[in-house]
Chain A
Amino acid sequence: MQQIHIDLTKASPAYRRLVASRRRFSFTLTALMILTYYGFILFVALAPHMLAHPLYAGATTSMGIVAGVGVILVAVGLTGWYVLRANRAFDPSMRALIAAAAQGD
């Protein structure tokens, strides 16, 4: 790709918007993961009895086990969400932008 196309693309508002929305999405998911994990750790540190509480009356399985498995599922789920959005939205938009810039002269 020639310098002129690169400059064209960098300057285009559509490119700036795409980069910004992609970044926002990355940071939002990062924040969600931090919230989930440290929320869990805070429960462990500050309210351990709540995690030790049985899931339902008479159960041995505790809330903590379900919460722990939940954090694992959230971690896998969020990475999956990222892949889906990147494949379906970000990649095609970026390809379109580059193609437009390459044709533009």
Chain B
Amino acid sequence: MKPGRFLQGATLASMSALAHASSIEGPVPDHVDLNPVAIGTFLLFVLVTLGITRWAARRTRTTKDFYSAGGGITGFQNGLAIAGDYMSAASFLGLSGMVFVFGFDGLIYSIGFLVGWPFVMFLLAEPLRNLGKFTFVDVVAYRFEQAPIRLLTASTSLVVVIFYLVVQMVGAGKLIQLLFGLPYWMAEVIVGALMVVYVFFGGMTATTWVQIIKAVLLLGGATFMAVISLAQFGFSPEEMFRRAVEIHPGEASIMGPGKLLKDPLNALSLGIALMFGTAGFPHILMRFFTVPSAKEARKSVFVATGFIGYFYLLTFIIGFSAITLLAQHPEFFKTAVDGHFNLTRDLLGGSNMVAVKLAQAVGGNLFYGFIAAVTFATILAVVAGLTLSGATTVSHDLYACWLARGKGSEAQEMRISRISTLALSIVAIGLGILFEHVNVAFLVGLVAAVAASANFPVLVSSIFWRGMTTRGAVVGGGFGLVCAVLLTLFSKSVWVDVLHQAHAPVALDNPALISVPLAFAGIWLFSMLDRGARAQREREAFALQEFYSQTGILALKAAEH
């Protein structure tokens, strides 16, 4: 099969989903040569990470090791790992591609992805560390009835994890096809198999180090690329912008907001989904249990926010400088017989290839191979984090804390978490192959919306609002989940992009504007109406929960054991 035949569906659907930008898809290259440097660098990465997994496996004996690396990760390491977990291939290639095509609008998206982090810091990081053991569900369930709360939050977490995995797998398959010339199914199997090995044997310790190494490689590679690109403009951003405007088909319009955000309501809704989605992703929240104290948890958010912000600035420089620098390389484009090409539409492989093509333009084949391998590594780090989070949800939240009522044996829990790891990866590979030809963009919107409308409101209310009860949490979270799913199903991304209808029944592209307030309203109303004895007990338990949340005494005790 010719690689890349189905790339019309945008390599990294996630970004185009947010952008609704069909124009960033591009022509498909005729064939992709196997790149020896890319394969060599990637093999080196695999060897090193497998070595680390071997080392980590020897230190992974208990469930605590498996879920949270024994709580022995430092704040700085965790910050890097969070950045590694969060900076996906979609954000590296997608954002730089968006800047290349739309200019300023790309920056708006980067900012949306970043601003969730301060909220994690101000509202969640310390209470998470101080109240929870292994998952954010522990925090939500702290003073409530275990069964309903665990069931609801575990299902929303699994929805988020599985669909996000599918998005990553589909994106990975198409990207690897394009970069390495491997068939789609083979890419799925390689990614799936490696993530199983990391998580199954090395648990959180291996996952953390895979993410740290990937973060260092990606930040280093992107820094190098941004610096040598800027050097071409005498290190003057003004010069870079000036020459980009001269050559870009959009001319001066790329320096200001364009058509990407079509109206204020959609802009607002997307903003809410991006912001609160970050603060509701189970695989991100889980990382806070790997550090020993609230102080280290704070440090990790600061380090992560700094690196992620820096990374987005780099993608902006990469995208903008690529406008001028790629235009000097007609061989990267599909040219007409007269030698002309459209800068934004004719790039081979589409705009997701901007960063890798720029690597080739400024650093030659060697650097191109390096960046391609780093992109592959990036995918692995993200899917490993997701798989671990999904497996923990099944074995800790569903089995140990609910089904076994806290009486299950350690060995049994460990076995279940490893079986879940295997099961999740089979699901991920299967759905990845099944969804090859589906435009999975809607899943990205869905995942962010569910995280923002079901997980975040319940979590933040359980921490800050004394009045919340089990009933309020379950009904409110349920509202958020159902509303987010329904509105997404009837939105443009499913109705038009997948089902090919002319119009969507729901005008809102992302449901967050409605579903997030609805969830909070549901929590408030049904908690207020809850007058039972259980509700009374739950409200009274708040003072003690707050005490533990504020002092961290619980976490301290747990660390001593």
Contacts and interface: CB of A to CB of B under 8 A. Distances in A.
B118 A79 contact: yes
Interface residues of B, number: 51
B108 A68 contact: yes
Given A76-B309, A87-B295, A98-B551, A33 B119 contact: yes
Contacts of B511: none
Q: Give the dominant DSSP class at B's interface.
A: helix
The number of chain A residues touching the other chain, given as a range, is: 35 or more
A82 B298 contact: yes
B415 to A, nearest CB: 35
A45 B262 CA distance: 8
Given A30-B123, A44-B267, A80 B256 contact: no
Contacts of B267: 41, 44-45
B309 to A, nearest CB: 5
Contacts of B298: 82-83, 86-87
A80 B302 contact: yes
Given A30-B119, A71-B115, A51 B104 contact: yes
Contacts of A10: 543-544, 547
B301 A72 contact: no
Nearest to A72: B309
Contacts of A91: 295
Nearest to B548: A6
A49 to B, nearest CB: 7
Contacts, number: 145
A40 B464 CA distance: 28
A83 B298 CA distance: 6
A57 to B, nearest CB: 13
Contacts of A61: 237-238, 241, 255
B264 A42 contact: yes
Contacts of A19: 546, 550
B108 A44 contact: yes
Interface of B: 104, 107-108, 110-111, 114-115, 117-119, 121-123, 126, 237-238, 241-242, 245, 252-253, 255-258, 261, 263-264, 267-268, 271, 275, 295, 298-299, 301-302, 305-306, 309, 312-313, 464, 543-544, 546-547, 550-551, 553, 557
Interface of A: 1, 6, 9-10, 18-19, 22-23, 26-27, 29-30, 33, 37-38, 40-42, 44-46, 48-49, 51-54, 59-62, 64-65, 68-69, 71-73, 75-76, 78-80, 82-83, 86-87, 91, 94, 98
Given A29-B118, A79-B117, 17 more contacts: A6-B553, A19-B546, A19-B550, A27-B122, A29-B122, A30-B118, A30-B122, A30-B123, A48-B257, A51-B256, A52-B256, A61-B255, A62-B104, A65-B107, A68-B104, A75-B118, A76-B306
